[in-house]
Amino acid sequence: MKDLIIFSLLIVSTMASTWAQEELPAELEIISIHTLANYPDRFDFSGIVKSETGYLAIADKIWNRYVYNIRIDSNHWYVTDSVQLGLANNTDLEGIDFCDQSGLYFIDEKFNRAYLYDGSGRSEVIFNKGLLRGGHKWGTNSGLEGIAVDCERNVLYLAKERDPGFIVSYDMEDKAILDIFNLPDSKGDVSDLKFENDFLYLLERNENYVTKINVKTKQVVEKVSYKDVCSHPDGKLYSHTKYGLAEALLLTEDEIWIGLDNNGLPFSSHARQAYQLVGNQPVLIKFKRPENF
């Protein structure tokens, strides 16, 4: 009888271990790492999007009120031009998206606003936190961090990163909040969003996940991990950092791009040994996009 009990416990333990392994998100396969090569100052990389003319990036220091045209080669990425967004005040630009018919969308975490820049030299406020009712907490450095647009339906999605974290969907034509829903992971810290084919893709920087959510059911469809590259057991990419640094997400047909805001920190010894990275530049990392993700 005793042997039977021990055998049963072993089976349960093995099954639990197997289930735990099956629940872990698959690791993304890295393609390449690109360091910023030609920007003379600190660049706190906080958003990237593809527009009709190429790739655009933003940075989140309060004096940086520009959107940058960027170019990417096999090892580096470069700032090629910049455009003033027409903002009168210091800002904290944290997310960016683009629609062909309307223009460039971005958010400012300092004032927790969303803007539309139409290319005319000025930006229009299209959302502010005052539209939310119910006494939501807005702490310092825990506000709006991600933005995504359903261009066809004219719906805006905004992510409040944490404390508490949630996602807002907003009808820009009717100027009405459609829904507010919690983040799928209470430990997550959402730093960017993208919308594609009725799915939201969340960049969860502390968990090192990209999470796919069905916007109709609000359910998680799949998660993938980039932890092996950015938070490897042998060390993170940058030295002296406790938290995740990923802040920029872009999806192509067969790739996932993730940009890191390194806050001016140097590469770690692990980054030097594993990827031959030296200096203190922000990186753009390309991964293979899993099929059907």
What does the DSSP assignment read for 171-223? ETTTTEEEEEEE-S-TT--EEEEEEETTEEEEEETTTTEEEEEETTT--EEEE
More confident residue, 268 or 18: 268
pLDDT given at position 224: 98
Encode pLDDT of 164-177 as tens digits.
788 999 999 999 99
DSSP helix, strand, coil percent of the chain (3-state; round to 5): 10, 45, 40
Burial class (CB in 10 A: 0-12, 13-18, 19+), 149: buried
What pLDDT was estimated at residue 137? 62
Mean per-residue pLDDT over the chain, rounded:
88
131-140, 176-185, 267-276: which range is least confident on average? 131-140
In the predicted model, is pLDDT for residue 121 greater than 90? no
pLDDT for position 179: 93
pLDDT of residue 120: 83
Percent of the chain clearing pLDDT 70 (strictly above): 88
Predicted structure pTM score: 0.89
Given pLDDT bands bounded at 50, 70 and 90, which one contains residue 9?
very low
Token pair for 133 = 């009712």
Q: What domains does the chain contain, in order, with CATH numbers?
A: 28-288 (2.120.10.30)
Average pLDDT estimate for 233-257: 94
The tens digit of pLDDT for each residue in 18-45 reads 334 457 899 999 999 999 999 989 999 9
